Each structure stands twice: as structure tokens, then as C-alpha cells.
Chain A
Amino acid sequence: MSILIKNGRVVDPANKIDAVNIQAQAATIIDAAGKIVASGIIDIHVHLREPGREDKETVASATAAAAKGGVTTVLAMPNTHPAMDCEDNIKLLQGIIKKSALVNVLICGTLTKERLGQELSDIAALKKVGALAISDDGCSVDSDTLMLEAFKKAKQAGLLTVCHCEDKKLSGKGVMNLGFNSTRLGLRGISNESEYKRVSRDIELAAKCGAPVHIAHVSCRESVDIIAAAKKRGVKVTCETAPHYFALTDEDIVDYDTNMKINPPLRAKQDVAAIKAGLKNMVIDAIASDHAPHTENEKDIEFDRAEFGKIGLESGLAISIMELIEKKILSWQELVNVLAVNPAKILGIDKGTLSVGAQADLIVIDAGKEFILEKKSIVSKSKNSPFIGRRLKGLVEYTIYNGKVIYQG
């Protein structure tokens, strides 16, 4: 079946196109007058929860949420039960994906067995079975020697290493950013140091053996500076941030809203400014949701006891439009770069463009459409969004994956 999208403003930075489009013959015609037409979003940090925690989310529910959010490719984080630490487990997930995924799901394997930071996974085997990257997401490998070994093995296998940078000796039992707001709320704080020291270490170890490294969910200003400096001296480092790190600060945790309990934590104003500047000057390569579904039972409790994380597949684009386009931080070209073009490059996949002959993963966005994010309209199985009740702007009208309309708003 062919689809024609006409009259839309096509934003395709990969081909340096920003123009109202071109006519052709087709079976289905979508009139996109006044709309943005762009590559589908490539979200390289998503927790699908399946296998193991299907009460929080499944491949089916997460990819339906992705479709609604304009996301056509996700990189599934390996902290499932069982973890994606061997061929069999990855095959198990591949089977589920084949059966129930609505969008393209790529798999990230673990660095170490069971993500315990003790013994390396068989990294070559993970590559062979189809993992696109490796990470102990949610954990950082404490041992420098083991981490260096991991980078070497990953390089040999031709796999990207994704680093969750957190020194748990420093973050300890912290539940929010360390500062006046943690003092005010009487909650244990997490310092910037617990993140940026590990960013620094991981970059250094990767550089030592020339392995590419990707820093996940950058949240603080020092991390941005460290990555900028490393890029300048030619280290093969890329990084991502998440919409909540440029849309929210620790001041927003006014009444112990556990949907704002996230790791790394919502930081201070200066950090938000640094994240936005990092996106503008291309130190930060990508925006990823860090979609982390949790049940109400795990969130509707005391702040100290609630799980870390929030969902984000359905709100990421709107938050990015509001915070980056509307506030004139990024142009549309630049936004599509960080949402699609760069993530594809980071993973080394042939996506993120609207080139002739490319797989038709694309979205039609009504960038001016306002809506209130309601709990009942959330497609994800879990509803832990800190943006519930807020007025958002920027709605996906169509999501087309592999030439088929998989979502229509």
C-alpha cells in the first residue's frame, strides 16, 4: 500500500530538506497542511519490562505507547527478569518482539552477568545473536579493571557500550537532588558528583582502548562539561539526555510527588540551563525518554520507598517541542537531529532520514495542538508521569512504521 502525505512541512536534516512537499500518486492520502512531517523518533533508552514485570509494561503496551508518541524505533534496556545477559534470554525477548511489537525494537545486552558487575557477559555472543549495544543500565560497574575489560571486549565485538554513570558509594540512599530542596523536604540528597565522577571515569577507560562509549541520561552541568572536553580531544563519546532533565527541576517536587522521583534525579536550574546549552551546541547528541514504567503500588507510597523512574514515550515529543522549539533553543532541524538522526548514527542503523528508498518510518506532527495530559488517556500500562494534569503542546497525528499507519491521533 502506498501513502501520500501532502502539503506538510518536511523536516529532514539528513537530506538538508525543510520544505513543503512534493506530489506523487498514492492509495492513501494524508493532508498534512500546516503540519510537520519528519522521521519517526528513535528512542535509545526504553524499559519494556518484559520479560519479567509484565504488570508494569509489556512489549505490546510499550510499543503502542511508542506509536502514540511518534516513536518508531526503541532500544530496549536489558534490566529485565531475566536480564539480557545471554543468547537464550535475548532469543526469548526476540520471540516476544516478533509476536507483539508494533514498532522496531532493538535490544541492548548486559555488560555483566545478571548486571551484578562481577563477571562479564559473553559480549561476542550477545553481538552474534543481535544485540545492538551493551549496558548494565541502572547500575555502573564499580571495578575499573572489569570496566576496561568490558570496553575492550565490546570494541572487539563491534558493540557500543552504554554507561549508566552513578557511583553508588556517593549517591547512597539518596532519593532526590542534593541541595536546598532536599534540605527543605528532609530527603536524602544525591550529589552531581555521584554522576559526573563516573562519567569522567568511563570516558577515560573507553578512550584508553579506543572503544566508543555512550553516556546515558546526562542530568548535570559537570557531566556536560566533561563530555564536551572529551569530544574536543577526539574521544569517541556520545550522550543522551531525557526530556525531564530540561523540563523539570528539583523545585518541582513540591509535595512529595513520587512520579518526580527519578534516577539520576531532577537537578537544579543551573543544570537544566547546561543541558539546554548542551543540546544547542551539540555536546548532547540525543534525547531519549528513559521510559521507566512502575505500578501504582510502587509509586503511591512514601517518597523514600517509591521506585525511581517515570514513563516518557508518550510525552517526550510534546515536552521537547515546548521546552526546545517554543523557547527557541533548537530549530526543527536541530530537534529532528537529536530525536532521530543522531540516535540512528549512535546505534549505527540506517534510519532517521526521509531519503528516497529508505524504510518509511515517519510521523506527522501538529506542533501547535494543545492538550491536557490525562491519566486515563495514557496508553502505557503504567501511569507514572510527572506531567499528568499539565497542559502540553505538540501532538502526533500519524505514526507510520515501515510504510503502514500504526497510529492515528
Chain B
Amino acid sequence: MLWTRKDLLGLEYLTPDELQLILDTAESFKEVSTREIKKVPALRGKTAVNLFYEPSTRTRVSFEVAAKRLSADVINIATETSSVRKGETLIDTGKNIQALKADIIIMRHNCSGAANILARSLDISVVNAGDGWHEHPTQALLDIFTLKEKLGKISGLNVAIVGDIAHSRVARSNIWGLTKLGAQVTLCAPEMLIPPGIEITGAKISNNIDEVLKNADAVNVLRMQFERDEGAAFPEQLDYFKKFGITEERLAKAKKDIVVMHPGPINRGIEMSSGVADGKNSVILEQVTNGIAVRMAVLFLVSQAKEAKG
């Protein structure tokens, strides 16, 4: 199949075939990072701009590494150092980057929908590196890629997502991606952290982590951000760990080869114990490695789409 989208905004918008194409492309790019010379000329002469309105180290670096392994030139813009602090609008910033003849904008933004708004205002590609609570498509793609690598398939798997679903773009992208590829997603969180209507996606909801772990082939543990300014509707830290934290004791009652994932950075002792984070079921560092292949695939595909169009 041919990739036709100039942007990657979210997994909600993709078909199962498109998801599969990204995963297949990522698989072929994974080998590049194992070479002596970790570079292919696929995006030589292209310019990718990392436009980050929210602090991020791992996603930004992962995109930068991915773009460089494809031989693209990479420019990093962080809000602290640019004119966005002088009150320039998002669309104006985007148009200026486009006028520099950049080819791809990789954007992280604290407002949901920012990538959608930018993408419809520009001709060049926009890759969403996380927008508010909306989507973080490449994170979910690398989670799904890792899962497939470990368990050989996605269809038919029971995947648990644990933690602050309501405020998580990682959760939303995972729910769309996994569901479209035929997995059964179960969300596990205190009631106040389950967003309304989420069951419409096909995901099941539970607040009993022990029950959920019993049937799960994989568990994706979200980062808890207790510093959030969402008023009283937030659980107490220690109480959360007692009721939902992933510990060795809990894992002992789960399937033996359950895959434990975390998008990072981990709060050890809050979402999961150190023993679990570093244990045999954890694939957390493999996720980081796979992130490069997945992001190479995404950058490659969106730039191909543009060439195909004109």
C-alpha cells in the first residue's frame, strides 16, 4: 500500500493498514541502528525541525536521532529560545519555518489539537510529538512495535493500561492503535482518572489491578503526574501505589511472560516498584531503542507522501 498522508496527527485517524505499514517500515529501519555506520541516505537534503513548546528530553532526542540516521538536517527550537515567547502565534511560527524551506515540523505542544491546527495551516509535514491530553502517536506506535516484537502479534492480545488515563495522550493513542489492530484494551485506574465515554472506543474499564493483571498479556504503566493542577480530583500518592502500583507481588500472580511497558520517565515507587522496572518482564529500555525505528518510519513515510503528491 501507499502512504498518502503528509502529517501524522494521531492514531485515531489511521486505518489498520496504515498502522501496519508504519510497523513494517519501522521493522526494516531497525537494523540501521545496529550497523557500524548508523546512517541511511533516505532523507538526505531534507530538513526536520523539532518545535517543542513543552519540555521533553526523550521524545525530542529520539526524533533527532531518528532524523539524523535518515541523514536529514535537524534543527531544534525550544520555546525558551525563540520568538514564540514574544507572542508570535502558532500558525505564524509554523509559516516562518515553512518559509525556511523546512520539510517536516515535529511538534510537542501543551494544547490539545495544536498539531491539527498547524497541519491544516501548512503545506509541509507535521508530526505530532504529543499535544495536550490528545495524542502521542509515535509513543503508542513504539509501544505497539515492542509488543509485537515480544509476543509476535497484536490481534487477540489483552493489553492493560494503568494510571492517569484522563490526562494521558499516551493512553489515548494506545487505545486507538491497539483497538484498530484487534487487541482488547482494559483501562485500570481510580474512577476519577477515567475520562467520560472512553468505553465507546471498545476499551473495558476496571479499578481492580489484580483482576486486570490476571488476564493481561501486557501492561502499559502510565506516568503519574501528581503535580497536576486539576483541583481535588486526584488520588493521594501513597494510596495510589497501594491500590494500583505494579509490584513484584502483584506480578507474581500475573501471566509468567507478561510484558511490562512504561513510556518514561518512571516514578519509581509510585507507578511501579524498582524491582519491576528493572525486572525480567520489563521492556522499558527496548521501547526506547524501538522508538528510533518507529520515528524513522514515520519521518520517512510522511516525507514520501509529500513527494508522491507533487
Main SS at interface, chain A = loop
Q: How far is it, in angstroms, between the C-alpha of A182 and the C-alpha of B131 when the chains are bound?
A: 14
A180 and B111 within 8 A (CB)? no
Contact of A302 among B111, B195, B231 (CB under 8 A): B111
A186 and B134 within 8 A (CB)? yes
B90 and A304 within 8 A (CB)? no
- The answer, yes or no, to whether B99 is at the interface (CB within 8 Å) is no
A187 and B196 within 8 A (CB)? no
B196 and A189 within 8 A (CB)? yes
A62 to chain B, nearest CB (A): 26
A185 to chain B, nearest CB (A): 6
Contact of A180 among B131, B134, B197, B231 (CB under 8 A): B197
Q: In the complex, what residues of A have CB within 8 A of residue B247's CB?
A: none
Q: In the complex, what residues of A have CB within 8 A of residue B114's CB?
A: 302
Q: Which residues of chain B from 70 to 96 have a CB within 8 Å of any chain A CB?
A: 89-91
The interface size of chain B toward A, counting residues with CB under 8 Å, comes to: 26
B111 and A303 within 8 A (CB)? yes
- The answer, yes or no, to whether A179 is at the interface (CB within 8 Å) is yes
A302 and B134 within 8 A (CB)? no
Q: How far is it, in angstroms, between the C-alpha of A255 and the C-alpha of B9 when the chains are bound?
A: 11
Question: A174-216 interface mask toward B, CB cutoff 8 Å, 1 = contact, 0 = none?
Answer: 0000111111111101000000000000000000000000000
Contact of A256 among B113, B135, B198 (CB under 8 A): B113
User: Which chain B residue shows the least CB distance to A189?
Assistant: B196
Q: How far is it, in angstroms, between the C-alpha of A302 and the C-alpha of B197 when the chains are bound?
A: 24
Q: In the complex, what residues of B have CB within 8 A of residue A172's CB?
A: 231
What total count of A-B pairs have CB within 8 Å?
A: 66
Q: In the complex, what residues of A have CB within 8 A of residue B190's CB?
A: none
Contact of B90 among A182, A186, A301 (CB under 8 A): A301
A187 and B197 within 8 A (CB)? no
The interface size of chain A toward B, counting residues with CB under 8 Å, comes to: 21
Q: How far is it, in angstroms, between the C-alpha of A179 and the C-alpha of B197 when the chains are bound?
A: 6
Contact of B196 among A180, A186, A304 (CB under 8 A): A180
Q: How far is it, in angstroms, between the C-alpha of A179 and the C-alpha of B195 when the chains are bound?
A: 8
Q: Taking A178-B196, A180-B200 as contacts, is the C-beta distance between A186 and B116 under 8 angstroms?
A: no
A360 to chain B, nearest CB (A): 47
- The answer, yes or no, to whether B223 is at the interface (CB within 8 Å) is no
A255 and B116 within 8 A (CB)? yes
Contact of B113 among A181, A297, A300, A303 (CB under 8 A): A303
B88 to chain A, nearest CB (A): 11
Q: Taking A185-B134, A186-B135, A186-B169 as contacts, is the C-beta distance between A302 and B117 under 8 angstroms?
A: yes
B132 and A304 within 8 A (CB)? yes
Q: In the complex, what residues of A have CB within 8 A of residue B91's CB?
A: 300-301
A42 to chain B, nearest CB (A): 37
Q: In the complex, what residues of A have CB within 8 A of residue B133's CB?
A: 186-187
7 smallest beta-carbon distances between A and B, as pairs:
A180-B197, A186-B134, A256-B113, A186-B133, A186-B112, A302-B111, A183-B195
In addition to A186-B133, A301-B89, 13 A-B residue pairs with Cβ atoms within 8 Å of each other are A178-B196, A179-B196, A180-B196, A180-B197, A183-B166, A184-B12, A184-B197, A186-B169, A300-B89, A301-B90, A301-B91, A302-B90, A303-B117
Q: Give A contacts to B, CB under 8 Å.
A: 172, 178-187, 189, 255-256, 297, 300-305
